[in-house]
């Protein structure tokens, strides 16, 4: 199983590539084209297919390539944005509605596992949230009150499952965990068995209206569909939602413990960014899976340092035997704390989107499946207003800004660099990278372990911010809206649709 970075997540361990069934399609018009083969796209596609819609799912790489392959797979009914905050910003009724949606989402996971008999190490777990100082304790009490009002099964508890000092703790009942890749592989197969078409290595490069339906250009030809869902973590192209979501990276270690003292439950502290813990058994081996050290994408100079800080923090409390896996992953935090699920702003009504899940992707992926299936099949969802992507109106002139931005292509005059000059600029050790400037132009250079130089134009193909090197995952990451690219410029993560311009060093003048 592949992922959008150099490090290997626990979920990739011993997971082979998903092999899609052979599909042919010509000019037929599908009911729904789902773009993106992560847990959101696959779960939604299956729901729609089961409801009688003829669906086609297109994934640019392989299924689970994005954040679904790098999640820590906590299934929660409480979110990064607390019920106290939701109640304050959206009112008590909406906090209740959110809780109901989250509970329904977790029920859908359970139902899928049962219906398709999926062996994915699923287990219901209590979820502990604990305070460590007076300020956090006051906040925890507010969260408890608001969660209770929202309908959560919550109680105070005097112990937590991690050996960390705390002041006060609450427990949310009936949270859960699973092996995400085993789960979404099974759902992908169920989707195909139900008649759905699943295409891997099929990037959608453009979409336009054609008569009464949409026509999408793809690596595998034209795809026609009446409705389209962008389940690409963040929609591609230039869209209002890119200015309503901020990309973050989070860091995870899966470690074995000398004393076997693995947490019996899910646990979260209240720092910002917070640490999160759980235990996962994979193929008979137990791991403590712990995460944290979140930062805005491309805002950390040395991403290896984030792993070191996380490990040092864990070593204070746990007897680590070995770090078996370490990886990082991206998430998009919505500006007002709720995800955007519904009609894609400033687009025809038959184009839908799901984004801004924060650190709650496992839950919101299933909320998406419920909301969009109802919107498409029944024409409405009870949660439609709560998650409406159009709830924040664009400022005047935004539509023009989008049109202009979409046409901007970075003009790069790479041929001005001589090969000699580039080697002069690139005082890099193997494995290092940097963006160098020369006479007003920039060039992104990476030297691989064999001393080979890889050069790309650092101007992001979304709207031209300058990418930064992610040393841990060996990718070029964009600080503006989170696009990510391989060392050779291949686009890994939307919103960019195009690769970074590759600079062919062989062609440059000696
Ligand atoms: Fe928007 Fe790079 S992701 S400019």
Q: State the SS3 of 128-191.
A: EEEECCHHHHHHHHHHHHHHHHHCCCEEEECCCCCCCCCCEEEEEEEEEECCHHHHHHHHHHHH
Classify residue 236 by its DSSP letter. S
- Calculate how far, in angstroms, residue 483's C-alpha sits from the geometric centre of ligand 1: 6
The pLDDT value given to residue 438? 72
- Calculate how far, in angstroms, residue 158's C-alpha sits from the geometric centre of ligand 1: 46
- Calculate how far, in angstroms, residue 245's C-alpha sits from the geometric centre of ligand 1: 12
- Calculate how far, in angstroms, residue 478's C-alpha sits from the geometric centre of ligand 1: 6
Nearest atom in ligand 1 to 478's CA: 2
CATH number (3.40.1190.20, 3.20.20.140, 3.30.9.10, 3.10.350.10) of 122-174+246-331 reads: 3.30.9.10
The pLDDT value given to residue 406? 55
Return d(Cα 37, Cα 232) in angstroms, integer.
8
Residues of the chain with CATH 2.102.10.10: 419-508
- Calculate how far, in angstroms, residue 463's C-alpha sits from the geometric centre of ligand 1: 5
State which of 481, 485, 499, 501 you would mutate to test the pocket of ligand 1, scoring each by most atoms of that ligand within 8 A of its C-beta.
481
The pLDDT value given to residue 191? 98
Residues of the chain with CATH 3.30.9.10: 122-174+246-331
Is 464:495 a contact under the CB 8 Å cutoff?
Answer: no
Q: Which residues line ligand 1 (CB under 6 A)?
A: 460, 462-465, 478, 480-483, 495-496
Residues of the chain with CATH 3.50.50.60: 30-71+181-243+337-391
Is 344:369 a contact under the CB 8 Å cutoff?
Answer: no
- Calculate how far, in angstroms, residue 331's C-alpha sits from the geometric centre of ligand 1: 15
Distance set, CA 4 to CA 16, 17, 188, 206, 472 (Å) = 16, 14, 19, 22, 12
Residue-by-residue DSSP string for 420-472: HHHHHH----TT-EEEEEETTEEEEEEE-TTS-EEEE--B-TTT-PBPEEETT
pLDDT along the chain (510 residues), means of 10: 95 93 87 98 98 98 96 96 96 97 98 98 97 98 98 98 98 97 98 97 95 95 97 92 93 97 97 96 94 95 95 97 97 94 95 97 98 98 97 70 54 56 73 83 87 90 92 94 95 93 70
CATH number (1.20.58.410, 3.40.50.2300, 3.50.50.60, 2.70.98.30) of 30-71+181-243+337-391 reads: 3.50.50.60
State which of 236, 460, 499 you would mutate to test the pocket of ligand 1, scoring each by most atoms of that ligand within 8 A of its C-beta.
460
The pLDDT value given to residue 452? 85
SS3 content of the chain, % helix, strand, coil (to 5): 30, 30, 45
Comparing CA positions, the residue from 508, 456, 506 lying closest to residue 484 is 456
Task: Please provide the CATH number assigned to the domain covering 419-508.
Answer: 2.102.10.10
Nearest atom in ligand 1 to 482's CA: 3
Determine the Cα angle at 99 with ends 98 and 102, to 5°: 85
Return d(Cα 290, Cα 251) in angstroms, integer.
8
Return d(Cα 155, Cα 247) in angstroms, integer.
33
Which secondary-structure segment (H or E) carries 228? strand 221-230
Is 176:125 a contact under the CB 8 Å cutoff?
Answer: yes
- Calculate how far, in angstroms, residue 297's C-alpha sits from the geometric centre of ligand 1: 11
Please classify residue 324 by burial: count the beta carbons closer than 10 Å to its beta carbon, then call 0-12 exposed, 13-18 middle and 19+ buried.
middle
State which of 236, 462, 493 you would mutate to test the pocket of ligand 1, scoring each by most atoms of that ligand within 8 A of its C-beta.
462
Backbone angles phi, psi at 15, to 5 degrees: -95, 115
In the Cβ-directed half-sphere of 333, how many Cα atoms lie within 13 Å?
16
Determine the Cα angle at 504 with ends 499 and 506, to 5°: 165
- Calculate how far, in angstroms, residue 358's C-alpha sits from the geometric centre of ligand 1: 18
Nearest atom in ligand 1 to 460's CA: 2
Beta bridge partners of residue 359, listed in sequence order: none
Nearest-CA residue for atom 3 of ligand 1: 481
Is 199:158 a contact under the CB 8 Å cutoff?
Answer: no
């Amino acid at each position: 199983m592949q992922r959008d970075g150099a490090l290997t997540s626990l979920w990739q361990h011993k997971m082979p590539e998903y092999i899609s069934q052979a599909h042919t399609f010509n000019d037929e018009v599908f009911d729904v084209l789902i773009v993106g083969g992560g847990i959101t796209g696959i779960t939604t596609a299956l729901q729609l297919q089961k409801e009688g819609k003829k669906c086609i799912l297109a994934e640019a790489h392989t299924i689970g390539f994005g954040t679904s392959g790098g999640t820590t797979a906590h299934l929660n009914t409480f979110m990064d944005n607390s019920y106290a905050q939701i109640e304050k910003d959206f009112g008590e009724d909406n906090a209740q509605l959110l809780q109901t949606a989250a509970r329904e989402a977790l029920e859908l996971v359970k139902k899928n596992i049962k219906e398709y008999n999926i062996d994915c190490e699923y287990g219901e777990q209590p979820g502990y949230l604990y305070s460590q100082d007076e300020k956090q304790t006051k906040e925890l009490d507010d969260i408890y009150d608001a969660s209770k009002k929202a309908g959560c099964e919550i109680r105070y508890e005097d112990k937590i499952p991690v050996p960390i000092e705390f002041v006060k703790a609450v427990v949310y009942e009936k949270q859960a965990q699973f092996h995400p890749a085993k789960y979404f592989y099974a759902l992908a197969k169920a989707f195909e068995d139900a008649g759905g078409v699943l295409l891997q290595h099929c990037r959608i490069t453009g979409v336009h209206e054609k008569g009464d339906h949409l026509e999408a250009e793809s690596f595998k030809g034209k795809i026609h569909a009446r409705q389209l869902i962008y389940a690409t973590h963040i929609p591609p192209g230039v869209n209002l939602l890119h200015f309503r979501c901020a990309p973050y990276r989070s860091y995870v270690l899966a470690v074995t413990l000398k004393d076997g003292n693995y947490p019996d439950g899910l646990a979260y502290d209240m720092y910002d960014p917070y640490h999160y813990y759980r235990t996962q058994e994979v193929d008979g081996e137990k791991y403590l899976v712990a995460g944290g050290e979140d930062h805005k994408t491309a805002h950390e100079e040395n991403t290896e340092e984030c792993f070191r800080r996380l490990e040092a923090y864990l070593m204070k409390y746990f007897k680590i035997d070995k770090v078996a896996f370490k990886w990082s992953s991206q998430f998009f935090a919505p500006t007002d704390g709720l995800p955007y699920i519904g009609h894609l702003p400033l687009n025809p009504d038959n184009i839908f989107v799901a984004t801004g899940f924060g650190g709650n992707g496992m839950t919101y992926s299933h909320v998406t499946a419920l909301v969009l299936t109802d919107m498409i099949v029944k024409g409405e969802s009870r949660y439609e207003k709560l998650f409406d992507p159009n709830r924040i109106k664009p400022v005047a002139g935004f539509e023009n800004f989008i049109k202009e931005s979409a046409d901007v292509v970075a003009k790069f005059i790479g041929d001005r660099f001589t090969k000699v000059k580039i080697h002069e600029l690139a005082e890099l050790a193997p494995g290092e990278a940097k963006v160098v400037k020369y006479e007003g132009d920039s060039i992104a250079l990476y030297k691989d372990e064999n001393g080979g130089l890889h050069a790309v134009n650092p101007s992001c193909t979304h709207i031209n911010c300058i990418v930064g090197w992610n040393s841990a995952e060996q990718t070029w990451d964009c600080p503006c809206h989170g696009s990510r690219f391989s060392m050779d410029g291949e686009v890994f993560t939307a919103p960019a649709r195009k690769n970074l311009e590759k600079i062919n060093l062989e062609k440059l003048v000696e």
